[in-house]
Structure 1
């Protein structure tokens, strides 16, 4: 075929290569090509080799939308378009957990990822959604949630003339259905921290929709019925400090795949600590071996107790929060950082900022007192680091709890 302006025919891969210069320089040419082609390889070439969705002159959103809504665009190419700027890194959970989760998603089963804080549930939920879907939306449950937050509601609005009109506001699952319908492929709906809401009440309509694919859970502004299909992948997370699996309503455990993210094994945890500490950079003057030893001693004392006290662990706590400590140290202690030359102080401040508050958030008074004692022990054991800020934070919360309970700290 001779070169020149593209002719508006049935485009294929060869013509995509020939006319790629025209296509990249014009939103009109790009969208016209996408809408007219019946060759998946042509679109794969334009996205993977030309990166048209990021390079086209003009309105890139129109080109991205055309690629995502086309029935010709292969699923993995849609993923590339939707996820080009994502960078969640490698999956850190055990391989069996990932396999179980992906299998549940493949058979159309909603899942609940549960486990103690710090096991990477939300992070893994995003990774799952990006692997199984074009993209995802994420919503965090709250105590004020109602079924409308799942399915949708009709909201009154006052226009500029003072007249009251009503509009339909889709819930998080209804929005996911609309996205899956629009893109004609898998869309992920992540519902984070579901135990913050009253699950039995809020999930009622969702249970019905899971069991009956013809059940209309909402109608959009055009009056079109929205039903839950296998294209909508529902991924929930649940913190085990909020509730155990046995305390959940049987309705959810019957309808959802319950996948546990437990604490990591010693070797897996050590590998994570080693990786994060290794990313500190050469300009951070800190004893890396001692820092890793501190992480391990802190983690072991929280989860398993100490050999000297003979007590069991204080609570379950995963390793993911320690990455926040290393990120803090990397930026605070590097060249020009506010704690450069004060690395001992920075470690304690990092623990007081990222670790202790997360532990204290769900701790009862006896646990708070043990946390304070644990930080005192670590402060004495690791002379290179000043852990008094975390210890003081625990002591302050213990005193506040005692005052609220009317109990003297000296009784």
Structure 2
């Protein structure tokens, strides 16, 4: 089990515990109406799989299937202690496993993989339990939707830096700031509310990329070293490199992390007007990829005194200008930009720094509130619209609805 999987398991269990201690959701206690079963550990190979059974009659459901080695029924066993025994399936004695009865649910720890936990879950479903995916379980049992969303996102975090930001939201950073804005709106403190909402909006640009990487597209004329440069950024050869225009005829994408921020790099076909056939199709795909980018790297050949200009009209996107082959720099070149030598790595560090500073100009402070889902951002923007229309109470109601489990109230 890798670090992400371990973190997922720990936080699934933690939030399940919090949910049970708060008697599930207060809006109907929907999970108490039927026992449920959920697999907490990640799919695939693993030494141990953990299945949780909760809701009404969860102990009775498991007791019908579990034979403790001590000979006592599950409902007679001490709470919060583990007991060894054997699972009883319809086909006869099943696998050996460990069961721990909690105050409001039961944990079943057995062999990992797919088949063993699937068999246990199927037995319980046949006995009347409702199977739930762990994100649904977490969402429906948590009293704090922001923390639940952060827990779910945490399992998809690609770097320690983004995971740390999500952990701050798990610990309540976003909820505290959100509630601060609501209080300010309801009390008529519009300047405080407006400033806080603006700060949250700015941070949401980063938050939406905590698990979805920034898209960085390299484009430029043929044979300027785009593929070599992307290999230098990655630290290994991913793109095809050959001294012939038109070598890259399709969009090649790969993922990396720059200073802890997840990045998707796209190596595109060289842009030139004389392209035809398959190469022309590659050029068109390059233009389409550029339109989707968060940042475009315009790559030129520093050995040319008057490099071909890459048009970027209509895109309105952020871009950086890079002159590659700096060791062959033409004396007549006076353009401004970042100079690199992709073959030797010279200037690549400066390029990495420029990419990060462009995409993330103001990284969040430790413990800072960061909206990170489209649901949260939608509610925040809808609330701002109402505030600009001099409707602070409506703005507060939208934020308050988003802070509860359930759909966002739109204006």
Q: TM-score range by the shorter chain?
A: under 0.3
> Of Structure 1 and Structure 2, which has the larger fraction of its residues in helix?
1
Q: Of the two structures, which has the highest relative contact order with CA contacts closer than 8 Å and spacing of 6 or more?
A: 2
> Of Structure 1 and Structure 2, which has the larger fraction of its residues in strand?
2
TM-score normalised to the size of structure 1? 0.24
